[in-house]
């Protein structure tokens, strides 16, 4: 079976990153941005969630609703709290305006005065159900508004989102039963209900397989014959081995149940991910 490379995902104008809350969605969005920037693509990561992940990682002041350069070929933009207040009066308007801004930033010939031109826009979208609703907003407004500029704009946004040549999506999962189940359901919703192309599924935070089956057998034997700190070390090694094995089972199940190619990202054993750790993840996305 032909499996497209990540560079083909990054060849699109707009990439939407979503997934269950807590799976590392913002980290993967930034890693994709760094991967694209490393290939020479002028890339902007647009955060739609409630926290500025990118500015925090780069130890920068909050960027707000501005296009701020973070690294070579990489910019960031965040939906500000003030903007949320201004659009809160009309249900769905905040989402429509946000998608409209993403669409505008992704245009090769921007109408905004001195607007920077980007090769790729990566959207750190809301999690799962909220993400589906977010992407359905243009269609909803297009159906409600019979005529006028809102209907025309909503239809233009809808056409861009469902254009599989220009827009793609990546879903982030964890190697656990519930996140895998939710990822399978999310892929179906995005492809069948929204008509968005899901081009990639990333299995995040995968433990390494440190021990072979004979190694595990030797560890089990040694664990039963020792006490004290050494026994605790054997038990810790066995616990990690079992967890890695269970994760591989979930990885296999995910690969069987989804249609998009599955890529894996390793668990990074540091208290908090910084720029360099995320750069390493970006290198492994190919």
Tokens of 225: 């014959």
Distances (CA, A) of 265 to 38, 43, 201: 18, 21, 11
Helix axes 128-144, 177-188, angle to 10 degrees: 20
Q: What's the pLDDT at 50?
A: 58
Task: Read off the pLDDT band of 87 (50, 70, 90).
Answer: very low
Give the closest residue to 18 by CA, choosing from 150, 220, 202.
202
99 CB-near residues (< 8 Å, 6+ apart): 134, 135, 137, 138, 157, 161
255 or 86: which carries more pLDDT confidence? Answer: 255
Q: What's the pLDDT at 96?
A: 86
Task: Read off the pLDDT band of 84 (50, 70, 90).
Answer: low
Residue 83 has pLDDT above 80, yes or no: no
Place of tokens 């969605």: 25
Dihedral angle of Cα 179, 180, 181, 184, to the nearest 10 degrees: 120
Task: Read off the pLDDT band of 248 (50, 70, 90).
Answer: very high
pLDDT tens, position by position, 4-34: 456 689 999 999 999 999 999 999 999 999 9
Tokens of 182: 């939710």
Tokens of 114: 């001195």
Average pLDDT over all residues of the chain = 89
Q: Are 201 and 262 in contact (CB under 8 A)?
A: yes
Q: Dihedral sign, CA of 159, 117, 40, 73?
A: negative
Q: Dihedral sign, CA of 100, 102, 106, 111?
A: positive
| For residues 192-207, average pLDDT | 96
pLDDT tens, position by position, 209-247: 999 899 888 888 888 888 888 888 888 899 999 999 999
Percent of the chain whose predicted confidence (pLDDT) is above 70: 91
Give the closest residue to 186 by CA, choosing from 270, 108, 130.
130
Residue 129 has pLDDT above 90, yes or no: no
Radius of gyration, alpha carbons of the chain:
21
From its phi and psi, is residue 195 left (phi > 0), alpha (psi between -120 and 50) or beta?
left
Q: How many residues in total does the chain contain?
A: 286
Residue 279 has pLDDT above 90, yes or no: yes
DSSP 186-214: HHHIIIIII---EEEEEEEEEPP----HH
Alpha helices in the chain (DSSP H): 6-10, 25-38, 53-57, 81-87, 93-106, 128-144, 149-161, 177-188, 213-223, 228-257, 275-283
Percent of the chain whose predicted confidence (pLDDT) is above 90: 62
Q: Are 55 and 24 in contact (CB under 8 A)?
A: no
Burial class (CB within 10 angstroms; exposed 0-12, middle 13-18, buried 19+) of 141: buried
Task: Read off the pLDDT band of 86 (50, 70, 90).
Answer: very low
265 or 110: which carries more pLDDT confidence? Answer: 265
Tokens of 178: 């519930």
In CATH terms, the fold of domain 6-207+260-283 is Rossmann fold (3.40.50)
Domain ranges within the chain, ordered by starting residue: 6-207+260-283
């Amino acid at each position: 079976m032909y499996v497209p490379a990540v560079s083909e995902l990054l060849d699109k104008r707009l990439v939407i990153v979503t997934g269950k809350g807590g799976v590392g969605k913002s980290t993967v969005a930034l890693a994709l941005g760094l991967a694209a920037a490393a290939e020479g693509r002028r890339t902007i990561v647009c955060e739609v969630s409630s926290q500025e992940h990118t500015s925090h990682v780069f130890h920068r002041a909050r960027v707000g609703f501005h296009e701020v350069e973070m690294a070579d070929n990489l910019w960031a933009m965040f939906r500000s709290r003030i903007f949320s207040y201004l659009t809160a009066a009309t249900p769905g308007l905040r989402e429509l305006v946000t998608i409209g801004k993403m669409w505008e930033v992704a245009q090769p010939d921007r109408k905004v005065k001195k607007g920077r031109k980007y090769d790729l826009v990566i959207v750190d979208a809301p999690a799962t159900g909220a993400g589906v609703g977010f992407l359905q907003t243009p269609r909803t407004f297009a159906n409600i508004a019979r005529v006028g500029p809102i209907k025309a704009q909503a239809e233009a946004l809808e056409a861009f989102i469902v254009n599989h040549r220009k827009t793609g999506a990546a879903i982030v999962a964890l190697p656990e039963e519930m996140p895998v189940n939710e990822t399978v359901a999310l892929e179906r919703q995005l492809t069948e209900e929204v008509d968005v192309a899901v081009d990639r599924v990333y299995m995040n935070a995968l433990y390494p397989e440190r021990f072979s089956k004979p190694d595990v057998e030797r560890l089990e034997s040694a664990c039963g014959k020792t006490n004290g700190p050494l026994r605790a070390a054997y038990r810790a090694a066995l616990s990690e081995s079992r967890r890695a094995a269970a994760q591989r089972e979930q990885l296999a199940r995910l690969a069987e149940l989804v249609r998009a190619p599955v890529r894996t990202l390793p668990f990074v054993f540091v208290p908090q991910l910084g720029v360099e750790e995320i750069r390493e993840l970006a290198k492994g996305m190919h």
